[in-house]
């Protein structure tokens, strides 16, 4: 697939930033998986001492399989980098994340890193976030109430109530690694991502949103012809 070439090119560029003794956050999703596999290879080839902090159970399993040394975030504290994918990014480095359901750990790990390097193929580039439904992690208790409060807030601010779906997996609600539900909000165009993030996070029952604002340091955009462009 062309996008595999694009994702792989972005990962190849990012891997060059890895130096010995670094502590690195390991993202979640298909692009992050490509990066983690390449990381395992260079750790072995160059005998680098790297400690990885995974952002999900699935990344943890992959990294363990590949023999990457792992630690939990509390043990390492500050990370040199986190390398992660995104569902959308805009020209100001705002992101939508959470398509893979790992947004909460991803955001905490990203906030713990000196630099968040986003690896994305060019299809993720947008002028305004929002075409990709915004994932929001919510508490399971009273989830219908939380969803109606979110709807009410959005109806007031967007003019009409958006469609909100409770994410499913195998015909039952998807449960995140932190044992929460995820809702997906169909907004179309998010004009003020920073404000929306703050407002949604203030609604009772909301744990965290998939809006990453003022977090990413750069986006490595992988192209289908194998080239990359860096957005800083």
Query: C-beta of 116: minimal distance to ligand 5RP in Å?
Result: 11
The answer to the question of residue 102 lying near ligand 5RP (CB under 6 A) is yes
Among the listed residues 25, 27, 130, 193, the single contact to ligand 5RP using CB under 6 A: 27
Among the listed residues 28, 59, 94, 112, the single contact to ligand 5RP using CB under 6 A: 28
The answer to the question of residue 87 lying near ligand 5RP (CB under 6 A) is yes
The answer to the question of residue 30 lying near ligand 5RP (CB under 6 A) is yes
Query: C-beta of 77: minimal distance to ligand 5RP in Å?
Result: 23
Query: C-beta of 85: minimal distance to ligand 5RP in Å?
Result: 3
The answer to the question of residue 98 lying near ligand 5RP (CB under 6 A) is yes
Query: C-beta of 124: minimal distance to ligand 5RP in Å?
Result: 7
What is the residue-wise DSSP string for the chain?
-HHHHHHHHHHHHHHTT--TT-EEEE--SHHHHHHHHHHHHHHHHTT---EEEESSHHHHHHHHHTT--B--HHHH-SEEEEEE--SEE-TTS-EE--TTS-HHHHHHHHHTEEEEEEEEEGGGB-SSB-SSPEEEEE-STTHHHHHHHHHHHHHHHHSSPPEEEE-EETTEE---TTS-EEEEEE-S-BS-HHHHHHHHHTSTTEEEESEE-S--SEEEEE-TTS-EEEE-
61 is catalytic: no
The footprint of ligand 5RP (CB under 6 A) covers 27-32, 84-87, 97-103, 106
Give me the active site residues, please: 106
């Amino acid at each position: 697939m062309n996008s595999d070439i694009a994702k792989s090119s972005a990962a190849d560029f990012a891997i060059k930033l890895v130096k010995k003794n670094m502590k690195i956050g390991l993202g979640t999703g298909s692009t992050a998986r490509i990066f983690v596999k390449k990381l395992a290879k260079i750790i072995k080839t160059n005998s680098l001492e790297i400690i990885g902090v995974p952002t999900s159970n699935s990344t943890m399993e992959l990294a363990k399989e590949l023999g990457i040394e792992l630690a939990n975030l509390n043990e390492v504290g500050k990370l040199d980098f986190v390398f992660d994918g995104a569902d959308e990014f805009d020209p100001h480095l705002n992101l939508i994340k959470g398509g893979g359901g790992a947004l909460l750990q991803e955001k905490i790990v990203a906030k713990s890193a000196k630099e968040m390097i986003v690896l994305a193929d060019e299809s993720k580039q947008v002028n305004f976030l929002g075409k990709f439904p915004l994932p929001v992690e919510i508490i399971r208790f009273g989830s219908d109430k939380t969803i109606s409060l979110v709807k009410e807030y959005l109806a007031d601010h967007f003019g009409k109530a958006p469609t909100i779906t409770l994410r499913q997996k195998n015909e039952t609600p998807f449960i995140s690694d932190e044992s929460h539900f995820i809702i997906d909000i169909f907004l179309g165009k998010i004009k003020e991502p920073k404000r929306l993030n703050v407002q949604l996070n203030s609604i009772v029952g909301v744990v965290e949103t998939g809006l990453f604002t003022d977090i990413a340091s750069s986006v490595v955009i992988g192209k289908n012809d194998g080239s990359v462009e860096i957005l800083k």
